[in-house]
Structure 1
Amino acid sequence: MNSPLVPTPDLIRSIEASEIEYMTDRMKAIRGRPGNPEGVEIREFGNAVCYYSETMPWPSFNTVKGLRSDDIDSIEPILDFYRTRGRKPQLEIVPSAVDSAFLRRLVENGCYPSGTHASLYMAPGAIAPEPSDRIRIEELQEDQFELYARIHCRGTGLSDDGIPHVAANNRVLHGRPGWKFYVACLDGKPAAAGVLRTRDGIASMTFAATLPEYRNMGLQRRLLLRRLEEAGRQSCGLAVGQCAYLSASHRNMERVGMKIGYVRTSWTL
């Protein structure tokens, strides 16, 4: 399962573009709920795509992707877009995408590097499923999004109060072209979840979580393999995923054959 792909400028752009594309589609789906209850806005400034949600203050829903050096004069308008909405954005900087002048302008505007995140990739190829007597991977059905939301919230440390909102914001993706949700069951009990988005030959593993009591039992590895198997079945030439650098997710991705494309920096106002 070792990937024959090597990092090139075109590959890096494809990895970043896949992240922008799935996030844009996700936010459009949430915005399309009757009355736009989450107050979602999507705004473009040059190459940059800005995501905002009135009711979801977390960085992933208030982030800026796609920045390039020639967007330097868009920095102030971007920050003003969020300031007028009472939000501090997360600006994602991909290595080599911006120059030192751009980074200086970020600092001059009160931004600082607040974290890093790894983007990994591989060519899926033919993935052989690993049989297990204890672990079963099932595709989520439309009436199971409360289950998904429970795993999502408890697996990421969110309050159970968020379960109805997470369920509603992900149910709108069921049946939307390219989206698939999976649940991993251990001894018949739902224990972990993972999400896949495919389009134009690229598979994006957009989210994964495991209930705390079921961690370190191989569930995420199996979910990765199931999604890579689906990516290969759809003849995807590239699979990508994001995670915290050197996290358990990072190690799982490396174990199935993925490797780092880049480690981006998050900047915060």
Structure 2
Amino acid sequence: MRNHADFLFCGIELGERIERAEAEFIAAGSAAALERVGDDGGFVIGLAGGFACHTEAGSPLNKVAGLGFAGVPAAGELDEVERRCAAVGAPVQVELAHLGAPEVAETLTARGYRLVGFENVLGRSLGDARAATVPPGIEVLRGDDTDFDRWADTVVGGFAVPDAQGVAPHEDFPRDVLERAVRDLAAAAGTRRYTALVDGEVAGGSSMRVTQGIAQLTGAATLPAHRRRGVQSALLAARLAEAAAQGCDLAVVTTQPASKSQQNAQRQGFSLLYTRAILVKP
């Protein structure tokens, strides 16, 4: 059992470091998506230390990320983002860390943004990461260019049927749009891909992005037929071991509150660092 000294404390500086990495990840994926779809009203705009992005209708990349650590966005900057979203018939969604300046949330709610949900950010130090251990019958393979399509199909297939444990997401995405977003993120941000096999059969997939000493654990999903067999724990352990070997000092993962993913992460030594509020202006 872990003692209290093992739990990672997240101050404002660490929160800013994680949010900057997340915002850059979303911006990179969005830029790749815009190269694919062309100039059809999409954008990637720097906004008060973060980014406002829109790619195509219904995409999970359509959001504002990274606010709260570089002052309050100017009214004119928010006007521009809201105008451009309105021009393509899209809401504005802001994911706002509760460690950021409270004035940002005050400004957004005064402009008509509504709270629609939360997501949790968990992290752990990698100084004591051990070699990956996986349950019997499960094998984790590092992906390459030859298995990209299989990996993408597996991850999207798992996302398409969300796990019922915990708080339900406030939105879902068409499978084709989700698949394109997964591919754009993987292609643009230099993510490393992993596939889990159960008794030789593809069961799940995940990815990891390494940036500035942070291992961002992303894109993890298990196909419904293989859930509750340790697939997510195996994928998590494999990525932690590789991140430590690459010299990362921190691993982070984002989950739905009280979800199976959060439970698996905490079993692997992750601590709840902070929560993002999801604010939407229709």
TM-score normalized by the length of structure 2:
0.83
Distance 2:12 2:130 in 1: 27
Distance 2:177 2:114 in 1: 34
In the alignment, structure 1 residue 212 sits paired with structure 2 residue 230: no
Q: Aligned residues, how many? A: 263
- Listed as ranges, the matches of 1:146-185 within 5 Å are 146-157=149-160, 162=175, 166=179, 170=183, 173=186, 178-185=190-197
Kindly provide the CA deviation profile for residues 129-183 of structure 1, in whole angstroms up to 9, marking residues without a partner as x. Answer: 2154300001122132221222222211279x84698269527835x67420001
Change (3 A) 1:137 1:38: farther
Q: Deviation at 1:209?
A: 0.7
Kindly provide the CA deviation profile for residues 4-38 of structure 1, in whole angstroms up to 9, marking residues without a partner as x. Answer: 642111111111112112222222333344x6499
2:125 to 105, 123, 126: 123
1:113 to 112, 115, 118: 115
Is residue 31–residue 40 contact of structure 1 (8 Å, CA) maintained in 2?
yes
In the alignment, structure 1 residue 49 sits paired with structure 2 residue 55: no
Task: Report the more deviating stretch, 132-141 or 69-78.
Answer: 69-78
Structure-1 residue corresponding to 2:67: 67
Structure-1 residue corresponding to 2:267: 255
Distance 1:44 1:153 in 2: 29
Is residue 207–residue 217 contact of structure 2 (8 Å, CA) maintained in 1?
yes
Distance 2:143 2:227 in 1: 20
Structure-1 residue corresponding to 2:89: 86
2:278 to 254, 266, 269: 266
- Of all paired residues, the percent bearing the same amino acid is 25
Q: Deviation at 1:39?
A: 6.9
In the alignment, structure 1 residue 10 sits paired with structure 2 residue 23: no
Distance 1:155 1:62 in 2: 21
Distance 1:168 1:104 in 2: 31
Kindly provide the CA deviation profile for residues 105-131 of structure 1, in whole angstroms up to 9, marking residues without a partner as x. Answer: 323332100000000111123322215
Amino acid at match of 1:119: V
Structure 1: gaps (5+ residues)? none
TM-score normalized by the length of structure 1:
0.87
Structure-1 residue corresponding to 2:33: 30
| SS, match of residue 235 in structure 1 | coil
1:242 to 254, 260, 269: 254
Kindly provide the CA deviation profile for residues 215-269 of structure 1, in whole angstroms up to 9, marking residues without a partner as x. Answer: 1111001101111111001010111110101111110110000111101100011
Task: Report the more deviating stretch, 252-261 or 140-149.
Answer: 140-149
Q: Deviation at 1:87?
A: 0.7
